[in-house]
Amino acid sequence: GENVEQHPSTLSVQEGDSAVIKCTYSDSASNYFPWYKQELGKGPQLIIDIRSNVGEKKDQRIAVTLNKTAKHFSLHITETQPEDSAVYFCAASIRVSNYQLIWGAGTKLIIKP
């Protein structure tokens, strides 16, 4: 079946440095790629998304890039802050399930002071 792979599973960076999380997807018909942030004890919240007709999207310190040919997309967080510590999930829409989302396994981001 279709899947989304996410790496790394844990990422530890110094406060102020950049963090990059990468995902690859298998369905060439996927056209929507969101990123969600989940804080402890809460449900995931959308932080940024990108559609297949766009290569890059930025929102302040967060950016997402998409390479359709290679079927991978990445989340970039610059100037990391303690409040960026959380679990981040990528997802991709899957054609065979009416474009519902298939999710990556998550990346635990730790910001060291």
Partner 1 sequence: NAGVTQTPKFQVLKTGQSMTLQCAQDMNHEYMSWYRQDPGMGLRLIHYSVGAGITDQGEVPNGYNVSRSTTEDFPLRLLSAAPSQTSVYFCASQKQGRGEKLFFGSGTQLSVL
| Cα(30)–Cα(99) distance, integer angstroms | 8
Binding flag, residue 103, partner 1 (CB under 8 A): yes
Verify binding: residue 44, partner 1, rule CB under 8 A. yes
Residue 6 interacts with partner 1 (CB under 8 A)?
yes
Q: Out of 36, 66, 77, 111, name the contact with partner 1 by CB under 8 A.
A: 36
Select the residue interacting with partner 1 from 40, 60, 98, 113 (CB under 8 A). 98
Round to whole Å and give the CA distance between 59 and 7: 22
Least separation in angstroms between CB 15 and partner 1: 27
Q: Is 43 in the site for partner 1 (CB under 8 A)?
A: yes
Contact 30, 93 (CB under 8 A): yes
Judged by CB, which is closer to partner 1: 49, or 68?
A: 49
Is 37 a binder of partner 1 (CB under 8 A)? Answer: no
Query: Who contacts 13 (Cβ-Cβ below 8 Å, separation ≥6)?
Result: 19, 80, 109, 110, 111, 112
Give whole-number Cα distances, 94 to 30, 40, 64, 81, 108, in Å: 5, 28, 19, 33, 24
Q: Point out which residues bind partner 1 (CB under 8 A).
A: 4, 6, 9, 31-32, 34, 36, 41-46, 49, 51, 89, 91, 93, 97-106
